[in-house]
Amino acid sequence: MDPDAFARVKAAFLAVRDLPRAEQGPAIDAAFDDPALRAEVRELLGHDDDEAPFIRPPEGVSRPPLPVDPAPPLVGETLDGRFDVETAVAEGGFGWVYRGRDRQTGEPIAIKLFKPIDDPGLRSEVEAAFDREGRVLESLAPRSAHIVAYRDIGTWVDPDGARRSFIVMEWLDGVTLAEHVNETLGEGPLPLRVVHELLTPIADALAIAHRHGVAHRDIKPSNILVTRTADGDALLKLVDFGAAKRAADRARGFQSTGGEIGMVTFDYSAPEQVNKAYGSTGPWSDVFSLAVLVVEMVAGRHPWRHLDLLAAMDLATSREARPTPRALGVELADPAVADAVDAVFTRALAVEPERRQPDVARLWAELGAALDGRARDAPPGSDQSSATGGISLMWYAIPLGLIAALAWWLSR
């Protein structure tokens, strides 16, 4: 995009971002004759997420709330003859969340209802993909206590005859990772070892998902919930996998080389999730997002939060300025450990997907080795047990970046 077009897109984005959703489309159409530039603005709006910050923003920094649309009349319905819908509890960019109850077990459930897709062909394609990945996710929960349990996936026809996909999950009473950390550990920078230990259950869950061909694609603090076990211990749960995101994104009309974009939180998005020119999404996208989250926690600030969105996108994709812990001023006592840690994050935060660790198992193994001073004895490609549940990494002994990407897409 040439500088003039970039300036026009930026100006249009800033002009329409705070308008009600119903007014954004006409405003964009009025601003541009070029469909490509219209698409650029719509793409940016899809990433303009009102995500609550992990580290609270400076005093006086705030953003307007997203417009609230009336929830569809799902309350009182029984889905699939089993799930009673009791009340609407939240709205997001993708649709609405309801609380309900499972008639078979009597347990509370969460129901996510997505916005409708008007195009019949696209609707069928999305519903099929949504169902396929949803069934895989349903099988993942028994493999990890840290993945939200999926109960059902289906379609509800609203009073106007529009088909809306829904997904049913276990109901989780708890707080987000951000709230948990702010309440229990404080709001400032955290030691890297503390962050590594805290997030190891999430890394375990992602490693399992990646081994079964599923990427999350929206790692952020609000998608990691913290509940309590019967003994009162904190239990981290990973929610909102890629199936939901792909269905919602396609409904909004955002596409990329390897799937859909839009409706992920830009603050934690990998470059390929923001711009299709960087390639396809996959487990390597989760590597980038998790690395950003770790850096934010240890630095006490997000690398590009509170910047203008387009300026933040430039920084996020600058090959010369990667947001490693060292770049954000994090100091470690042992220089050798500091060098090894920064090398791990330099790789994980690479702009090009093929330069990153291919999945979170590899990332977490390398980070654990660096922290323990084993990085010099266990260079990339060596035989080493993963820090995530002891997953064997022997098969990384040969360069598998391209093979991993190929296997990912062949399995879809």
| Residue whose C-alpha is closest to residue 391's, from 141, 198, 139, 144 | 144
- Spatial separation of the C-alpha atoms in residues 204 and 352, rounded to whole Å: 24
DSSP type of residue 147: B
H or E element: which one contains 179? helix 177-184
- Spatial separation of the C-alpha atoms in residues 295 and 300, rounded to whole Å: 8
The DSSP line for 252-269 is HT--BTTB--SSS-GGG-
The verdict on whether 218 is a catalytic residue reads yes
Q: Are 69 and 91 in contact (CB under 8 A)?
A: yes
Residue with token string 């996710």: 137
- Spatial separation of the C-alpha atoms in residues 24 and 159, rounded to whole Å: 26
Query: Among the options 218, 249, 286, 359, which is catalytic?
Result: 218
- Spatial separation of the C-alpha atoms in residues 11 and 314, rounded to whole Å: 16
**Phi/psi of residue 106, nearest 5 degrees:** 80, 5
List the alpha helices (DSSP H) in 300-355.
309-316, 335-348
Question: Which CA distances in Å does 368 have to 77, 236, 292, 354?
Answer: 48, 19, 17, 22
| Residue whose C-alpha is closest to residue 190's, from 49, 297, 348 | 297
Residues with active-site annotation: 218
